[in-house]
Amino acid sequence: MKLKAHYIIFVLTILFAVPAFAQVNRSVAPGQYRQPKAKAGKYDYVAETVKYYRKELTLDDFQAAAVKEIIEAEKDAIGTIQQQTDITQNERRDKATEINERIDSKIEPMLSPDQLKKYQALKEKRKG
């Protein structure tokens, strides 16, 4: 009788233990939702920005090339702001706003009216 009870307890333990160990770990990994970087380890800000604008604004080849040139020209200024450690966050934001306004003033004239509306909506989204 005692032996039967031990077997029953052993079988029940196995029945409940096996499914518990078979569970999948569904925890969120650190960095799981970060944007993927380029394979070489460098993120090409200019190429990704042009790709984004080309998709969102349906830019043609000429417009995409012009946007690329405009952003390339401002790339050093953007990098300088990111590397400056002696300025406050407000100064950094003001300089970035100035650069964005300069880029916007160069991009807007070459857009069609429909593209300009979409671009202004993207600017509002960026600010908000």
**How confident is the model at residue 123, as a pLDDT?**
87
Query: Tens digit of pLDDT per residue, the chain (128 long)?
Result: 677 888 888 888 887 777 766 666 666 666 666 666 555 557 788 889 899 999 999 999 999 999 999 999 988 888 888 788 888 888 888 888 899 899 999 999 999 999 999 999 988 887 76
pLDDT at 36: 60
Distance separating alpha carbons of residues 73 and 65, to the nearest angstrom: 12
- Cα 77 from chain centroid (whole Å): 21
CA–CA gap between residue 119 and residue 40 (Å, rounded)? 31
Max alpha carbon distance in the chain (Å)?
Answer: 92
Residue 43's pLDDT is what?
Answer: 74
One-letter amino acid of 63: Q
